[in-house]
């Protein structure tokens, strides 16, 4: 095949260099290539060292792949609960769920025994009530597990105590009429005379609500390092002290050491208020927002227990000449702490609302060219592009 005429003329027009001239040009091009390569290496080295110094000085870390993140998502993913529940957490949760159902069955069955053995009125309704509570808690465990799996994809700490307040509310509604009926009738005297362990056994049955609440909290808690888990343990400790405090006065009522009828009704009412309060703080544990209503509502619920008990104990000490109980100091201490806490929380909520801003979206994508060594961001490159 013949070449094109134009190409032949152009090749023939360019004279071939001589031997000495060709060697000189090759030597110059090699030296120029070496200078360019050394200059490129020096510039890359200086740029990398400068970027590393800037990255270390700014102390900003970011993942290597490109991403788009909002400030709300950053706060959400910066929580303590970053690990997914393992087999140990699942086994622990199942263990406490089984204890919950066992305690419900034992307490409800013993209260039904006290009510049925001395009277045949409405015995079918008491058994049906216990069955409804058992089925309600079983449904609660199923719905909570589904809600927990769905919420774990977005935020591990959210949905941890979902529907738990409904379970405790069902239990309180079913258990309160039984205890009131036994306390306000002659059934309690018959229990003392004809039932083994007598009134002591009845007290143990009533106080089994404290370990039941403990097993409920642990049955829905899978991540013990979460902030909501610590809050739940704090609330449980407060509720446990309030229940024990009010129950010591209930013992005085059962023994006949409180002569005033009004004080008896006050003690009974406060005990059931303390019995109902876990519904409130279990509902609050689902809320991740801090606002005035939660702070004030928690203060009022705590004062509804400690203030009446303090008044009753002051009557017993100063009017009926009874001994001072250590729980009187507990009532004074918790009331002072609650007043200080509500003032502090209201100030903190006001400060958060004052300086808070709407969520800001960071739309700049950080690429690999803008990354320095050790995963630090090259702030000069990001600033230059934006």
Residue 362 parent element (H or E):
strand 361-362
pLDDT digit string (tens) for 279-329?
988 888 876 555 566 777 778 888 999 999 999 999 999 988 888 888 999
pLDDT digit string (tens) for 225-237?
677 788 888 889 9
Q: Is residue 156 part of a domain?
A: yes
pLDDT bracket for residue 11 (50, 70, 90)? very low
Per the structure, how many domains does the chain have? 1
| Angle at the Cα of 361 from the Cα atoms of 355 and 362, rounded to 5 degrees | 115
What's the chain's Rg over C-alpha atoms?
A: 37
Q: Is residue 24 part of a domain?
A: no
Q: Is residue 107 part of a domain?
A: yes
Q: Is residue 70 part of a domain?
A: no
Residue 241 parent element (H or E):
helix 227-255
Q: Is residue 241 part of a domain?
A: yes
User: What residues make up the domain containing 119?
Assistant: 87-273
pLDDT digit string (tens) for 124-136?
788 889 999 999 9
Name residue 70's beta-bridge partners: 361
Burial class (CB within 10 angstroms; exposed 0-12, middle 13-18, buried 19+) of 235: buried
Q: Is residue 6 part of a domain?
A: no
pLDDT digit string (tens) for 239-248?
999 999 999 9
Q: Is residue 292 part of a domain?
A: no
Mean of the per-residue pLDDT values of the chain? 73
Name residue 371's beta-bridge partners: 377
Q: Is residue 356 part of a domain?
A: no
Q: What is the pLDDT averaged over residues 248-271?
A: 89
């Amino acid at each position: 095949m013949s070449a094109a005429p134009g190409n032949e003329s152009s090749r023939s027009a360019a004279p071939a260099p001589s031997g000495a001239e060709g060697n000189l040009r090759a030597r110059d091009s090699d030296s120029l290539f070496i200078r360019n390569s050394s200059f490129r290496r020096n510039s890359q080295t200086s740029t990398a060292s400068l970027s590393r110094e800037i990255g270390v000085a700014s102390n900003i870390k970011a993942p290597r792949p490109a991403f788009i993140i909002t400030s709300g998502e950053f706060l959400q993913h910066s929580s303590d609960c970053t690990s997914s529940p393992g087999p140990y957490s699942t086994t622990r949760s199942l263990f406490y769920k089984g204890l919950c159902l066992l305690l419900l069955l034992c307490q409800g069955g013993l209260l039904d025994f006290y009510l049925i053995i001395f009277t045949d009125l409405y015995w079918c309704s008491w058994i049906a009530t216990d069955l409804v509570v058992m089925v309600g808690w079983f449904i609660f465990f199923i719905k909570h597990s589904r809600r927990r799996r769905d919420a774990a994809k977005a935020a591990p700490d959210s949905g941890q105590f979902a529907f738990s307040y409904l379970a405790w509310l069902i239990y309180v509604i079913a258990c309160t009429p039984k205890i009131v009926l036994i306390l306000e009738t002659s059934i309690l005297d018959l229990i003392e005379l004809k039932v083994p362990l007598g009134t002591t056994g009845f007290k143990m049955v009533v106080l089994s609500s404290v370990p039941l609440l403990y097993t409920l909290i642990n049955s829905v808690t899978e991540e013990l390092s979460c902030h909501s888990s610590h809050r739940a343990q704090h609330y449980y400790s407060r509720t446990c002290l309030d229940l024990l405090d009010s129950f010591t006065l209930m013992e005085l009522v059962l023994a006949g050491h409180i002569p005033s009828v009004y004080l008896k009704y006050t003690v009974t009412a406060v005990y059931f208020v303390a019995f109902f309060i876990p519904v409130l703080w279990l509902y609050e544990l689902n809320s991740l927002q801090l606002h005035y209503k939660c702070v004030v509502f928690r203060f009022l619920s705590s004062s509804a227990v400690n203030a009446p008990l303090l008044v009753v104990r002051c009557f017993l000490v100063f009017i009926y000449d009874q001994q001072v109980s250590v729980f009187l100091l507990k009532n004074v201490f918790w009331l002072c702490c609650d007043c200080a806490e509500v003032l502090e929380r209201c100030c903190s909520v006001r400060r958060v609302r004052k300086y808070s801003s709407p969520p800001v979206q960071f739309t700049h994508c950080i690429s690999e060219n803008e990354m320095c060594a050790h995963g630090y961001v090259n702030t000069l490159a990001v600033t230059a592009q934006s």
